[in-house]
Structure 1
Amino acid sequence: MIHEQIDNIIKTKVNPVLADHFGSATLTKYENKIAYVKLNGTCASCPSAQDTLELTIKEIILKELPEVSDVKLDTSVSEDILDMARKILNISN
């Protein structure tokens, strides 16, 4: 339930703001009252990604859903990208 609410807030309130910078955000996980968000597009590699999280995404989510205690940036690398890198480098798992 809360996962869907956070997802909806990101889609309707966060992503329109990030779209102005050719980016978006995705909720990757919600546990222990913490939402983990991954930045996509140009926002993913932006040096101000942490500021975007703190000043925009976190502010919007916490205002809309007081039951969320924190929002953190998910900087993990997807398995698809890791698999592609392994293939390019000829590294087995």
Structure 2
Amino acid sequence: MAEKELLENIEKALGEIRPYLLTDGGDISFVSVEDDIVNVKFHGACTGCTVNQMTLKNGVEATIKKYAPQIKKVVEVK
């Protein structure tokens, strides 16, 4: 998959999960992708949320992998 297509797929995935985060007063943004690891940043209510790591793995990572199966994992950057 070309890098441009990969970045588009990551943004599509974040676009799918974003409405759920916005409902809870949070948001997420793409930071970078390196060695098939996606770096994201939480905003708003998501930064202090006690379940944001579960959201990261079960929601964000799963959705990104659906669009870009070659991604190994998604990590949060502060």
TM-score (norm: length of structure 2): 0.84
2:9 match: 5
**Deviating runs (4+, > 3 A) in structure 1?**
none
- Larger relative contact order (C-alpha < 8 A, sep ≥ 6)? 2
Give, as a single letter, the amino acid of the residue that structure 2 aligns with 1:33.
D
Q: Compute the RMSD of aligned alpha carbons.
A: 1.2
Mapping of 1:7-86 within 5 angstroms?
7-10=11-14, 12-75=15-78
Aligned length: 74
Unaligned 5+ segments in structure 2 are: none
Rg: which structure is higher?
A: 1
Give, as a single letter, the amino acid of the residue that structure 2 aligns with 1:37.
V
TM-score (norm: length of structure 1): 0.72
Q: Distance in 2 between matches of 1:3 and 1:30?
A: 8
Q: Percent identity?
A: 26
How big is the shift at 1:8? 2.9
Give, as a single letter, the amino acid of the residue that structure 1 aligns with 2:8.
E
Greater percentage in strand: 2
Give, as a single letter, the amino acid of the residue that structure 1 aligns with 2:24.
H
1:88 match: none
Give, as a single letter, the amino acid of the residue that structure 2 aligns with 1:22.
G
